[in-house]
Structure 1
Amino acid sequence: MSNAREYFRKKKKVRKNRLFKTIRAGGKKYAGKRNRTTPTKAGHGQAAYIKADRIKAERVKASPIKTDGKRAVRRRRGKRLGTAAVLCVLTIAIAAAAAGLAGHTYEAYEVQSNQVLNGSKEMEYLEFNGGILQYDSQGVTYINKENQREWNYSFQMQEPFSDTCGSMAAIGDIRGNRILLFDPSGKRGEIHTQLPIRRYRVSDRGLAAVILAKGEDSRLEIYDGLVGDLLSGHDIPEDSMGYPADLDISPEGTKLIVSYMQLTMGPEEAVSASHIAFYRLQKVGSETVSQLVSSKIIQEDIFPQVVFLDSSHAAALGSGGMLLFEGNEIPELLEQIDLPEEERAEAYFSNDHYVGMTVAGQKEEAPLLKIYSANGELQFTKKLEEGYDRIKLYKEQVLVYRSASLRIYEFDGRLRYSGNMPLPILEILPGSKKYEYVVIDSASIRQIRLH
């Protein structure tokens, strides 16, 4: 009996030792069967807690990978939202700055270049190919975009008159017999007429339409100015057509517009009228003929000035209003703009897209500036309280100057610049960049930039 009791006592002790070793070794035998945070047996919970804490630590250590990923995503989203917010603020700031600049009126300028003039007081200036033609009765000089003298040509004329179209310029002697043609590189051609020159115009291709004096009547001739050849010509009987007051040739040199003034005696007084005629220039065999294709007679009004705005739009300008024509082959009247009887047009000016007038009333009021598109739509009106000497159109800007005072308006009515130059302005031309201009006075040619 004692042997049996001793046997079981030893066996129990062996089991206890094995359990202790197992727990000390990490509880591999029972780890999968017990709660890892619960002691395996009283007295031996420390080792079990060590194992459980280690496992928990591993879990805690692994868990932040997921949490950090979410935080990283949130951080990236936050950064993107922050960047978008910054860009939005910058966009608004830029737009506000642009709006501020758009409505800003400049009052100062900086001089970018200055060229001292030593020419005669009778010098004339003409915008040409981004530069300036400077001429008088003794010659012409071309000043390029960089305000540098590029070439000059000497001649003798009694009454020089200039005209430009695109890259072609002409200087002719009114009442004389000579017309010189130039392009940006220098002289290109010369025309000699048999009769005195009354009026002429040149096309971009070098064709010249010339009205000549022939006793009591007139003659219309067409020249190839680059070679000096007479292409066509016909007499103008003034008793039937009237007196040719003005003419123009289309840029491509295929159409003419001529304004004839007619005067007939009525029962009590003379009655005036205008005859606006369009001619088409075309080749017939080896000759060039000018064929009348359309005409319009306006009673009791005179249109002493005509102009081609572009290849398909033309205008006839008079004291009582203006006529706008449209057509590539056969121009027809598009719009007739009549002024009230108490108003009259003082001056006209135009560019390739717009034509403007200044209107004066009977009262001592400031003249009214009106600008129309080639289709007759009113684009801009402005009371010129300060008066004016000359007005020029440049794209969608209006340049108004009087003595040394200069004002520049946008077509939307904004005053872009208001200020004074050192000397009275003889001519002002657009520069090569926005808000840059060439201002000419009696002493210098200056390139300025508004700021």
Structure 2
Amino acid sequence: MAEVKDFSSYARKLNRNSDDGSSPVGDSSYKEKIRSHRLKVFFRTIIIAAVVLFAVIAIYISWRDKEYSEAVLTMEAAISNGSDSKVVDLSGFVIQYSKDGVGCYNSSGQPVWNQTYEMQNPMAHTCNSVVAIGDYNGHHIYVSNTSGSMGVVDTSLPIRDFCVSSQGVVAAILDGTDVTWIYLYDCTGNTLASFKTTMKDSGYPISISLSPNAELLCVSYIYPDEGKLKTSVAFFNFGSVGQNSIDNYASGYDYPGVVVPYVQFMNENTAFAISDDRIMFYTGNQKPVSKAEHLLGGEEIRSVYFNDSYIGLVFMNNTDDGEYRLQVYNTAGEQILTTYFDVVYSNIIFDNKQIIIYNEDECVIKDMSGHNKYEGTFTDPIKVMIPTKVRSRFTLVTSRNIMTMNLK
């Protein structure tokens, strides 16, 4: 017969131990081991995460600050264009236009679409993936995107200036007999809005810009004021907010004794204006307000370049630092960089936190701290240099072909 153990006495012993605050045999050491193990896992995880973070930061800094010493060119396709043709970048596609027509090519040089027309003085304006080409003093504006034609606008009156939004909406300054008109059209030529201007009442419009979503229009008017010139920068809202305002007027600012020949939207919330003595910033997607203003000390601005994040003003410098000085501002109106260069530039591009300065023979690439990342020359004269999604790769367009340039 098997022996029957008395578990009741053992249970009573456990209860007595629990009553006087003690623990079962080995329980405290077991909990200590669990606590110690958890701490080891925790600190091991922290150390691994710190090592990984440090490695990621080191790799990013190395990538961000990487300098390039050579460029490898790869031929993509042969193209032909006349001496009077001009080339612009359209979201990575190549737009080539002249008096006779316009064509679009992808980055590999393959034709996407083309359109013929006849113009005397063609002008091109872009917004994101939309391009509008019109004839100064002509009556037609051709609107296209990277896929093809979106439509043609017939203005009836002579064109003095125009701009386009990312949806293909066109704003145009038109010369009437006694008055100057500002018209808004959709991409197929239907009139969306119009208002007239006279030198006596509102002044003459010398520059216009549409916001990318076409809800806001900025106009710079110049007019005489007590024997002096005066400029007004006005904003018009064509969305729901502006429907209850006279002539869709949203806000505006006067600049006595100042000429403001250039206004431009950077994005849907930010616009800027350039005068002969200052740069002005405006913010707001309904009724823009003045955000910042910087006097330029009487220096002449040679050129203005921008994207949706940065604005660059180029001045003559003529010091040992460089022949030219580039001042860069962000959308808040803050000057974030002053850098110098010697390239007799034809274009400056802000892309992927890089500054690309080039002409047909050479280029220099800087980061947003002004540090030179690459300097080099081209074997063939370049018409346009187009950034790609890879910051070390560019599309080059010459008069004979399209090439890819990889920096090493």
Give the counterpart letter for 2:282 in structure 1: F
1:244 to 205, 217, 224: 205
Q: CA deviation at 1:134?
A: 1.1
CA distance in 1 between counterparts of 2:375 and 2:387 reads 16
Structure 1 residues 363 and 166, CA gap change in structure 2 (3 angstroms)? closer
**SS of corresponding position for 1:142:** strand
Is 1:338–2:291 an aligned residue pair? no
Given that 1:147 and 1:447 are in contact with CA atoms closer than 8 Å, whether structure 2 keeps it comes out as no
Is 1:281–2:242 an aligned residue pair? no
Structure 1 residues 116 and 393, CA gap change in structure 2 (3 angstroms)? same
The aligned runs of 1:79-90 (5 Å cut-off) are none
Residue deviations 1:108-146 (CA, integer Å, cap 9, x gap)? 111233322321111111211321111111111111233
Residue deviations 1:255-284 (CA, integer Å, cap 9, x gap)? 100011224463xxxx33221010111479
Answer 1 or 2: higher relative contact order, Cα 8 Å, separation at least 6: 2
Aligned to 1:356: 312
**SS of corresponding position for 2:302:** strand
Structure 1 residues 282 and 91, CA gap change in structure 2 (3 angstroms)? closer
Aligned to 1:77: none
The aligned runs of 1:266-415 (5 Å cut-off) are 266=227, 271-282=228-239, 290-341=247-298, 343-360=299-316, 366-415=323-372
Given that 1:145 and 1:432 are in contact with CA atoms closer than 8 Å, whether structure 2 keeps it comes out as no
Is 1:433–2:394 an aligned residue pair? no
2:66 to 96, 104, 112: 104
Where do 4+ consecutive residues of structure 1 move more than 6 Å?
90-95, 286-289, 362-365
TM-score normalised over the length of structure 2: 0.81
Aligned to 1:256: 217
Determine what percentage of the aligned residue pairs are the same residue.
25
Given that 2:343 and 2:362 are in contact with CA atoms closer than 8 Å, whether structure 1 keeps it comes out as no
Q: CA deviation at 1:348?
A: 0.5
Residue deviations 1:188-210 (CA, integer Å, cap 9, x gap)? 11111110011111111221111
Structure 1 residues 155 and 289, CA gap change in structure 2 (3 angstroms)? farther
Residue deviations 1:125-176 (CA, integer Å, cap 9, x gap)? 1211321111111111111233321111111111111112223221111111
Given that 1:281 and 1:290 are in contact with CA atoms closer than 8 Å, whether structure 2 keeps it comes out as no
TM-score normalised over the length of structure 1: 0.73
Unaligned runs of 5+ in 2: 1-43
CA distance in 2 between counterparts of 1:363 and 1:324 reads 29
Aligned to 1:14: none
The aligned runs of 1:40-189 (5 Å cut-off) are 99-189=61-151
The aligned runs of 1:196-215 (5 Å cut-off) are 196-215=158-177
Q: CA deviation at 1:408?
A: 0.6
Structure 1 residues 289 and 191, CA gap change in structure 2 (3 angstroms)? farther
Q: CA deviation at 1:403?
A: 3.9
Is 1:235–2:192 an aligned residue pair? no
Q: CA RMSD in A?
A: 2.9
CA distance in 2 between counterparts of 1:241 and 1:175 reads 23
Unaligned runs of 5+ in 1: 1-80
Residue deviations 1:37-85 (CA, integer Å, cap 9, x gap)? xxxxxxxxxxxxxxxxxxxxxxxxxxxxxxxxxxxxxxxxxxxx9xx99
Q: CA deviation at 1:360?
A: 3.0
Given that 2:107 and 2:395 are in contact with CA atoms closer than 8 Å, whether structure 1 keeps it comes out as no
Q: CA deviation at 1:440?
A: 2.0
The structure that has the greater radius of gyration is 1
**How many residues in Structure 1 have an aligned counterpart in Structure 2?**
361
Q: CA deviation at 1:362?
A: 9.0
Q: CA deviation at 1:379?
A: 2.0
Aligned to 2:4: none
Q: CA deviation at 1:296?
A: 0.7
**SS of corresponding position for 1:240:** coil
**SS of corresponding position for 1:172:** strand
Structure 1 residues 195 and 359, CA gap change in structure 2 (3 angstroms)? same
